[in-house]
Structure 1
Amino acid sequence: RAGGVGVDEFALAIVEPQLATDEPAFDAVFEAVTKRRPLCFDYQRPAQEASESRHLEPWGIVSWHGHWYVVGHDQDRDAIRMFRLSRISGQPVFTGERDSYQPPAEMNLRALAESLAPPHPNSSATIRVRTGAGDALRRRAARSTHVDDAWTELELAFGSSHSLADELLSYGLDVMVVAPVEVRDRVVRRLTAIATGAAR
């Protein structure tokens, strides 16, 4: 613990010499955690093309599956959330004074990280993306194959078929699911429900 709040000190001791170069946002987030100062930062989610502004009361920092995360109270969602430091764009900005909030008295950062983290990718999906669309999907694809002038086929790792289907739905008709069937069926069902609702 640092300043009465949670920091994964064992993991911190292992990689501390690399933090300045690997995670540009780490120093500001660490200061916010230790001094209990709320933060504002731009956050780039994998499924989004543009970053969005988030406001957080950071409770602690934890290393999870090879990446650094900050856990805290998301003021925008009024909920506990976890943010990966490497997805923070630019430098976080302090939005409050020292000791502006009080983290939970009893807090297990690793347990929180486990409950908040998305499922570890252990499956693969094949999708087709229309030319000129889906840049975020293309960036994380394990394989990319040109199909024709209109489509590119991508192979994506995923952990939750439900989460992947929700992500792909945001691209509308610019994405087609080839496999697996469970993801394709989820997308089709959701699109059908949306179309049915719009027709009423």
Structure 2
Amino acid sequence: MDKLERLTNLLLVLLEAPRALTMREIVDQVDGYPAGEAACRQTFERDKRTLREEGVPLETVTVEEREGIQGYRVRPERYYLPELGLSDEEQAALNLAVAAVRLDTGSSRDALWKLGGAEHDPAPPFAALPALPALPALHEALRTRAPVSFGYRGRQRRVDPYGLGFRHGFWYLLGRDRDHDQQRTFRVDRIEGGVERGEPDGYAVPAGFDLGAALPDEPWKLGEGEALRAQVLIDRARAPLVEAELGEDAISERRDDGAVVVTLEVTNPAAFRSWVLGFLEHAEVLSPPELRSEMVAWLRGEAGPDGSGPDGSGPDGSGPDGSGPDGSGSERAGPDGDRGAP
């Protein structure tokens, strides 16, 4: 008997049992466990861990208090999805939603079937959401308020998750970095290896936390770095476009010739560089000096022979894999000379 069959039988036994069962009672009803006591217990412990990692609400209770014997159960009311009582109109809307946004794994289709939806020939989706290995663990950590730890850019991070958001084609985790005691943003596809969860109820999300407000739309704000106050001069040919894009509040100065100066808060310099380069000779970085110097270096040909910069990113601020600085995969043409965007 393979592991999947044993786990399936184990789950069915736990769901159908009228009370909590001891390990010995479970092993007597479920085939596939080794004969030896130590090997049997080791396999059973692995099976318990697997079920819980997959989201099964497996409970451990004391069935005989005097002897301290542990029992295990899965309450059907906690495992099965309750009857939602969706109307025909609501089920139709659900079908439309699943047709419009599709997950890479096909889990949206499976969930639709569980909710009573019908199977139809697939239609081209309006959007496709990437399915990442770290997402299930992060969602579970958010649900149970469990701190997490994971590798990110070569360092181990310990984070209290506050929320998960989707921007520019990528998932982002927002939370408190325990080692720095600061709120940080992490791009989920850049998490290295697995996500380890701590004990449930290990933290509290701050009162009034607003994921929408905390996760900005502007890609140059989606970074971990210290915020820099950047000023960019936009000439009169592009000034109306920039004002429409950023709003009047971003304009810090209007010049007599029709040009404007915009002030931006930058935590992702590569995304900022990509945005500026999109204006070709119509934009000039005024400050801070480090952002201006970096832009001048790019425009004076200090990019690599393949067009990438010293950090391996593309001349538009994209990553080595060709993705945009915000992960969107967008591309912008750079200027031909050293004039304009510095």
Which interval holds the TM-score relative to the shorter structure? 0.5 to 0.7
Please, what TM-score do these two structures have when normalized by structure 1? 0.54
Residue 57 (structure 2) pairs with residue 57 (structure 1): no
- Larger RCO (CA under 8 A, 6+ residues apart): 1
Give yes or no for contact 2:276–2:341 (8 Å, CA) kept in 1. no
Change beyond 3 A, Cα 1:62–1:99: same
Please tell me whether Structure 1 or Structure 2 has the larger radius of gyration of its CA atoms.
2
Change beyond 3 A, Cα 1:58–1:181: same
Give yes or no for contact 2:304–2:310 (8 Å, CA) kept in 1. no
SS at match of 1:128: coil
Give 1:187's aligned residue: none
Give 2:207's aligned residue: 105
What is the letter of the counterpart of residue 65 of structure 1? H
Give yes or no for contact 1:123–1:157 (8 Å, CA) kept in 2. no
Give yes or no for contact 1:72–1:80 (8 Å, CA) kept in 2. yes
Change beyond 3 A, Cα 1:88–1:156: same
SS at match of 1:157: coil
Residue 147 (structure 2) pairs with residue 38 (structure 1): yes
What is the letter of the counterpart of residue 178 of structure 2? Q
Change beyond 3 A, Cα 1:38–1:111: same
Give yes or no for contact 2:158–2:178 (8 Å, CA) kept in 1. yes
SS at match of 2:205: coil
Per-residue displacement from partner, 1:164-197 (whole Å, max 9, x unpaired)? xxxxxxxxxxxxxx956875xxxxxxxxxxxxxx
Aligned-residue offset at 1:136:
7.4
Distance of 1:136 and 1:37 partners within structure 2: 38
Distance of 1:180 and 1:157 partners within structure 2: 18
Change beyond 3 A, Cα 1:179–1:135: closer
Give yes or no for contact 2:141–2:147 (8 Å, CA) kept in 1. yes
Give 1:137's aligned residue: 311
Aligned-residue offset at 1:107:
1.7
Residue 261 (structure 2) pairs with residue 87 (structure 1): no
What is the letter of the counterpart of residue 168 of structure 2? H
Identity among equivalent positions (%) equals 27
Aligned-residue offset at 1:76:
1.6
Unaligned runs of at least 5 residues, structure 2: 1-97, 108-129, 223-267, 278-297, 319-336
Give 1:78's aligned residue: 181
Distance of 2:132 and 2:145 partners within structure 1: 20
Per-residue displacement from partner, 1:115-134 (whole Å, max 9, x unpaired)? 95246531234442568xx8
Give 2:69's aligned residue: none
Distance of 1:17 and 1:111 partners within structure 2: 25
Which of the numbers 128, 134, 139 marks the counterpart of 1:25? 134
Unaligned runs of at least 5 residues, structure 1: 1-12, 45-50, 142-154, 159-177, 184-200
Please, what TM-score do these two structures have when normalized by structure 2? 0.33
Aligned-residue offset at 1:33:
1.0
Extract structure 1 runs of 4+ deviating beyond 6 A. Answer: none
Change beyond 3 A, Cα 1:123–1:68: same
Aligned-residue offset at 1:31:
1.0
SS at match of 1:76: coil
RMSD (Å), alpha carbons: 3.4
Which of the numbers 302, 311, 315 marks the counterpart of 1:128? 302
SS at match of 1:137: coil
Aligned-residue offset at 1:104:
1.3
SS at match of 2:133: coil
